Structure formats: C-alpha cells, structure tokens
Structure 1
Amino acid sequence: MAEITPGLEKRLIGALQPIRGFVLAQALHQFMDTGIHDALTKHGALPVDRLAQLCGLSADRLGGFLLYLANEDFVVIAVDGTVGLTSAGAEIGVFQPWYALLVGGYTPAFAGLREALADPAAYASRNAAQVGVGSCGISEYDALPIAERLFQQIPGRVGTVVDLGCGDGRYLAELCDRNPGLRGVGVELAEQSVTNARRLMQQRGLAERVAVVAGRADDPPDLADRPGPLCFITAFVLQEILEQRDRAAILELLCKVFARHPDASWIVIEVDHRPADPDVMGHDLGLAYYNPYYLIHRITEQRLETRRFWEDLFAEAGLSVVGPEVPDPVYDSLGLKLGYLLRAAGAPAIRADL
C-alpha cells in the first residue's frame, strides 16, 4: 500500500504542474487553430451556440472546453452564458505561431520520443504544414527583419527572390510586398504547404509575381526564365539538408548554385546550437523556447550546428560573407538566430548607396 505522509497533497500538486502545462498547451493551440479565438476577437462576447456555429463545432463539447479555459483564466463566462476573452486570452493570440510550431507541428515528435531515443536510425514525425505555418509566423519577428536588413545590402537590384523551403509562403509574400517589382519563386516539398502558399499569394494579390512550386530545397528548379539577379533564401532549411544528407551536400548545393548564377546572392538564416551553454539555459527564454527547440532537432530530420560550423562551411565554399545579423534584443536577447548574406568570392556585398 502506498504511504500517505504529511505534505503529500502539496507534493502531488507540484508534480502535476507539467501535466497541467501539457494539457493547457494543447488546449490553447486548439483554441486558436479552430478559429474560436479569432471569432471572439472579431465579434466580442458570444453565446456558446453562436460561437459553435461560427466555428463548426459541437455546442455541448465546446461548452465544456470553454469551462476548462475559464478555469485557466483565458475566457470569462458571463451570467447570461456569453463567453468573452480575458486579458490573458486576448494576449495569447499574439503568440499563435509558437503554438502552431511547437504544439501543432511537433506534438507527434514528442509522442514518438521513446522510439526515437531507442533507435538512432528512427526519426520522430512532425506535422509539416503546421511547422510551416508556425515557422513563417515566428519569422515575422526574427528571420524576416534579419533577411530584410541583409537584402538591403545586396549591390544593385534583385530581380527574383527564390525561397527554398518556403513553408506557407508568408515570409516570401512579405518580402515581395515590401519590395515593389520584386518577383518570387517559392519551393516547398510539403503538399499542404504548397497549397497554403499558393492560396496566400492569391489573397495578397501576388499570384502574378510569385510562383510556388513543389520540390526539394536541395534541388532548385530551372530559373533561366526568371529575371535576375537572383537572391536565394534558406531560412532554417540547411539544417534539414545537413541531417537528411550531410555537410558535403550543402557545400555541393552552394557551389553549384553560385557556379550557375555567379551574380546571385544567398541569405541564410540558421540557429546557433548551444544547449549546454549555462548562459543560454539560465535565461528564461532559453528554457521556455530554445530548450524544447533543441530537443526537437535531436529527434527529427534536422540537425542544428554552431555559429563556428556555419562560418567555416561558408569559408570552405569560398564565399564572401556578411553577418551574422541577429534578432532585435527587445524580442530575443540571446542572439541565437543568425543571418548571413553570401556572395561569390570577390563580389561586392555592401551596397555603395547605403
């Protein structure tokens, strides 16, 4: 028989907090992904029946879900039965991309952790479409501003930007929106992400300027008919080629592209791999985001590497390098996301008019 000792309830409550967090993370992701959060943001407080109708959900089950969220202080249920957002509920919507990535995208990976730990040849799975949505959303805070700063340092005028591994296309759409006349090509392997990206280009009025094609990031399509010079972008993509193939494959890709397009530029965004650094893991953001992020990349078909690794690789490829650019420290003070502008050796990398 289990021993019941003084203080057991308090210890139990403490031990259950990770489970509470696990359930809450799943619930908040669905709160946003099902459209419930958007409906309450757009319409204000609503009766449960009306909210269920707007979101295509069962009113009875939605009622139970909302009671759960009310107990966690993300919604408030009025005496008349209408449901509205609390301040915490309104605020969480800002951070939907992180939930799409880590919960929507990588829940299958965490569920497959045991198998991945036991078999070094096995990879944990992921929801590629959700990873694309989350990654592109997060990129609006870090990778996109980094890429824009590097893009402005390219000498002359870029004719076409080629996003290898474009996800849902949001990143590519933003670049083309902010640079009138710029054309784009998005290359993406995940079928649902290709569909999402094409739909986004239609919605943003960019379908005539931006083409989205199905394909592998490490095998760029024929771009002979695209106006140049070209600017390639790989945001968190070389890490996938590194694990799925090897370092030599990245070198081959870089050398092949620059041999074919000597006047091209290439913007690379990657993440410095520092999971054993106490300065990183002693930081709240390090534990909240980078600790699970680093774990994911040990069990899925991706491999993170250090800043030194990437800079040595670019040097071996004989490329001119500008960077690294890092995120705004107001948003992320750890400086782990690294942006580089690559050009063929000897090519000017800084615009004279800046």
Structure 2
Amino acid sequence: MNNPAVETDFEHRLVEAIQPIRHLALAHALYTMLDNGVYQTVKAEPGLTSAAIAERHGLDAERFAGLCLYLANEGYFAQRAKGAQEGWHLTEKAKALEPFQPWYTLLVGGYAQTFGQLGEVLKHGAPFATRDGAKVGAGSCGMSMFDALPLADRLLNTLPAQDLTVVDLGCGDAAFLTELVRRRPGLRAVGIEPDEVGSRLAEERVEAEGLSDRVTIHRGRAADAVSVELPTDGTLCFLTAFVLQEMLEQESEAAVTELLRKTMNTYPGAYWLVIEVDQQLDDPRTMSHALGLSYYNPYFLLHVITEQRLEKRAFWDDLFDRAQLDVVDFAHPDASVDSTALELGYLLRRREPAPQHV
C-alpha cells in the first residue's frame, strides 16, 4: 500500500542518502585524472578534444569521452569551442585541486583498495588490509610539504646548520628529504626505504634533481639504520615521519624503543626528530573539527584496519621517557595549514646521566 507522505519525500531522502556513493565515484575520477597526466595536459593545452587527449595518453577514446562528460557534470571540466569541434578545459573548481593532489594520491591511490577490504578485514581472525605502499609513500611525502616538512625544518633550526646530516628512516620517494636538502644549504642526507618501488623512485628523484652529492638512498628497514655507513663528522639527526607507528604494529613497542636506544648508543651525540599523529578517534570534540572529519576520520579508520598503530601523545611522551630521551623541542604544524594540533613534532636527544654527588 502506497503512503503518499513517504512517496513525496522519497526522492529527497534518496538524494541525501546516496551522496557518499557519489563522492566515492568522484574521488576515483579526480584521482585518475590527476594521476595519469590528463589534468596537466588539459591545464597546459586547454581546448583539446577528448579524442586528442585520449590519444596523447593511450586511453580508449570512447571511455575517456564518458569521463570528460562525467567531470563536466560535476563541475570540473567545461567545453570550449575550437573551430567546428568542442575542446575541454579545467574549470576554476578543477584548478583549485592542484595543490591537494597528494591527498588523493595517499587516500585514493594508496588506500582505496584498503577501504574496499573493510567487510572482510572486520571478520574475527582476518589479516590486515593491504595498501599500495609506493602510492602511500608518494602521497605522504607530497602532503608533508605543507605540514610535516615545515615542522621538521623549524625543529632543525635548533641544531647547528654546519655539517648536519639528516637520516630519514622510511623516506618514501624522497620528495620530503630532497626538499629539506634544498631548503638547507650544506645539509647532507641519507634516506632508507623498505619498499622496492619507493626506494627506486627515491634514487631516481635524487639523480634527476642533481642531489647525488648530498643525498644517498639505501633500501632497508628503519632498524637497519645502525648498519648503514653514516658521516661521523658534524651532527647527526635521525628522522622518522609517520614511521614509528608502523614499527609499533609490524614489530613491537620494544622494537621501537630498541631502535631509539641503539641509534643513540651508537651515535651518542645524535638527535632524533619524530613526527607522529595524536590518535583522537574517540574524542567527539576533536573529530567534529572540519579537517578532523574530512581527513583525520578516514585516516584514523584506515590505520585501524592496516598494519599500523596510532597512539595518543601521552603514549609517545612515555615511550621517549622510557627510552631515556629528553625532549629538546616540540611543535605542531602551522595552524593555517592544520589547526587540529593532532600532528606532533618532537626533537629528542639522549638523556645525560645525573651527576654523582660524593
């Protein structure tokens, strides 16, 4: 039996209810355009037809034409007359996307497959969900240009600039590390990356940017840091950006503590620069923040189902204390980029033993 009240309201409720599905499709479409070079082509040469763009990138012309129309309906592509044909150009809405490509690389390129495994991974005894490690590394490095890298740069100002070497454990494609080197003349750097694709991309980036004389890349785990030949002149600073969280889950808390202690015992005058995230998924006030909902809420969820372990600030404070490390400096990213204060930056040094009084 039909209910007139329900019938007249149904379409409105349907539209509201399926917005997440719309955004799912849109996220994939935008990521694809940003990742396969189409975005840059349309930006550089507005007015090309969909057939010309498809040929340029080795795409199926008919399928790509459908994507163009889809993006036009969502307000990202628009047609422009070109003689007797219609060419495509980016709308202002699409142009505004460019700085934020790394977020798409991380969350769609790196973790779309992860969210797709949610139903299976929630089952008791199921293994962790998988991810695309190379995309995760590339996206994370790109995002870090806006928050973690300026944060690291600010903390490094505490250290002497002359003869400083930064050892980046889990350097990804080295975008973070090479940018840090460019910002600090005279800085030397060593990158260590476990992912095969990521380490290869890091080597290629270092060579392409002409930094081979200042940056060395090794393939290996963070725990391999003490087995890599490092400069002994000047100041050493070990760096992990969102890496200890992986060691916590994939190895153990003891392994993290051992890494910190071992490197500091091997290089007593060294520093550690750690960037991590304060896990506040259970704090409704924090998660109601606009960036909390749009970024950190899915970010925290994917960490629950992948082989990574986020912790609260109090946990990190306690772990560093037990590892006999003192906090030399502490900071959050610039509030104009991220005002949640969920990203944590520590500059640490080995605690000196208390003087013995006779």
Is the shorter-chain TM-score for this pair beyond 0.5, marking a shared fold?
A: yes
1:294, 1:120 → 2: CA distance? 21
Do residues 171 (structure 1) and 171 (structure 2) align? no
1:268-315 CA-partner distances (Å, limit 9, x unpaired): 000001011122111111100000000011000100001110011111
Q: Which residue of the other structure, out of 52, 58, 61, is the alignment partner of 2:60?
A: 58
Report the alpha carbon displacement of residue 227 of structure 1 after superposing the two structures with TM.
4.6
Consecutive aligned runs of 4 or more in structure 1 exceeding 3 Å deviation: 1-4, 155-159
Letter in 2 for 1:219: D
Q: Which residue of the other structure, out of 34, 37, 41, is the alignment partner of 1:35?
A: 37
Alignment match, 1:73: 75
1:227-274 CA-partner distances (Å, limit 9, x unpaired): 542211100000000011121111111000000001111100000010
Alignment match, 2:158: 153
Letter in 2 for 1:128: G
Number of residue pairs matched? Answer: 347
2:228, 2:183 → 1: CA distance? 22
The correspondence of residues 1-354 of structure 1 with structure 2, limited to 5 A, is: 5-79=7-81, 80-120=85-125, 122-155=127-160, 157-220=162-225, 222-228=227-233, 229-346=235-352
Q: CA, structure 1 residues 324+119, in 2 after alignment: closer, same or farther (shift >3 Å)? A: farther
2:342, 2:37 → 1: CA distance? 32
> Matched residue of 2:274: which SS?
strand
Rg larger for: 2
Q: CA, structure 1 residues 337+235, in 2 after alignment: closer, same or farther (shift >3 Å)? A: same
> Matched residue of 2:7: which SS?
coil
Report the alpha carbon displacement of residue 155 of structure 1 after superposing the two structures with TM.
4.2
The answer to whether the Cα contact below 8 Å between 1:159 and 1:227 also exists between their aligned partners in 2 is: no
Letter in 1 for 2:290: D
Stretch deviating more after TM superposition (213-222 or 243-252): 213-222
Report the alpha carbon displacement of residue 224 of structure 1 after superposing the two structures with TM.
3.7
> Matched residue of 2:138: which SS?
helix
Name structure 2 gaps, 5 residues minimum.
354-358
Q: CA, structure 1 residues 35+68, in 2 after alignment: closer, same or farther (shift >3 Å)? A: same
1:38-92 CA-partner distances (Å, limit 9, x unpaired): 1122223322222223322222221111000000000102243100000011111
Letter in 1 for 2:71: L
Name structure 1 gaps, 5 residues minimum.
348-354
Report the alpha carbon displacement of residue 223 of structure 1 after superposing the two structures with TM.
3.6
The answer to whether the Cα contact below 8 Å between 2:327 and 2:346 also exists between their aligned partners in 1 is: yes
1:290, 1:178 → 2: CA distance? 28
Alignment match, 2:356: none
Stretch deviating more after TM superposition (233-242 or 73-82): 73-82
Stretch deviating more after TM superposition (254-263 or 227-236): 227-236
Q: CA, structure 1 residues 219+225, in 2 after alignment: closer, same or farther (shift >3 Å)? A: closer
1:172, 1:32 → 2: CA distance? 23
2:327, 2:126 → 1: CA distance? 35
Report the TM-score when normalising by structure 2. Answer: 0.93
